[in-house]
Amino acid sequence: MRVAILQCDSVLDKFQPQFGDYPEMISGMFADSNASLLFDTFDCRLDKFPDDIDIYDFYITTGSKSSVYDDSDWIRQVITFIKKLNHHKKKFIGICFGHQLIAMACNGKVEKSNKGWGIGVAENHIFKKPSGVKETPVTINILASHQDQIIKLPEDTTVIAGNAFCPNFIVQWGNNFLSIQGHPEWNREYSRALINDRRALIPAGRIQSGLDSLQTKPDNTLFARWILDFVQHAQR
């Protein structure tokens, strides 16, 4: 399958030698899937988008330090592109910032949460399985790093998984869009590096609980399988 990565941010230069950039993290997420995937990356911040949307089997975003409600031309352009994908019933996977972009494109609502930062491994109860997905345990653990949350969902959405801190953690939008507030492409070492780097921004108690949560292994491979099952189901 051919995959278009919509890049909406870059890993800080000081972390790239150890962890790479976000597109590499996304492609690496599928390393254990045994799927044949070819990735092309488009930097949306530079107004780069696919000319032909039909040549890709699915689209996926990186996260971003930006907020989807920021007054930026490039963010508006990404939202317009997502609306185009939705109109043409293309398969799209939104990660963190992309999760929220879908909400903006589909008349949902995103705000900075009064609950503060969500960091570390988030344990989520699974309410329903996404279309086509075969494997559904009771919970799914995924790394997270966010202040913004989707607080209002439009019609034709299904909450797949969530928790008390972030009720709309995984959402299916109609038949072709699936999104997640967390980061299934990250590993725990990168999450730890970011948490420590943000000590000046996040209360000490939340920093410690986030670091403690990293003892739990995230279910990245499970979510990668979910993506592939969802995309292949939608193609039938």
What CATH architecture applies to the domain 2-235?
A: 3-Layer(aba) Sandwich (3.40)
Mean pLDDT lowest among 32-41, 87-96, 202-211: 32-41
Of residues 137 and 233, more confidently modeled:
137
Give me the mean pLDDT over the 187-204 stretch. 97
Of residues 29 and 136, more confidently modeled:
29
Position 129 scores a pLDDT of 93
- The residue type of 64 is S
CB 214 within 8 A of CB 188: yes
Mean residue pLDDT across the chain = 95
Give me the mean pLDDT over the 19-46 stretch. 94
Nearest to 77 by CA among 106, 51, 48: 48
Of residues 162 and 233, more confidently modeled:
162
Position 195 scores a pLDDT of 98
Give pLDDT tens digits for 201-211.
999 999 999 99
Position 236 scores a pLDDT of 42
Position 235 scores a pLDDT of 52
CB 175 within 8 A of CB 89: yes
Position 234 scores a pLDDT of 53
What residue spans define the domains of the chain? 2-235
pTM: 0.96
Most confident of 7-11, 29-33, 34-38: 7-11
Question: Read out DSSP for 70-83?
Answer: S--HHHHHHHHHHH
Sheet containing 157-162: give its strands across: 38-43, 2-7, 58-61, 92-95, 177-180, 170-173, 157-162, 118-126, 139-146
- Widest distance between CA atoms in the chain: 49
Give pLDDT tens digits for 117-128.
999 999 999 999
Would you say residue 55 has pLDDT above 60?
yes
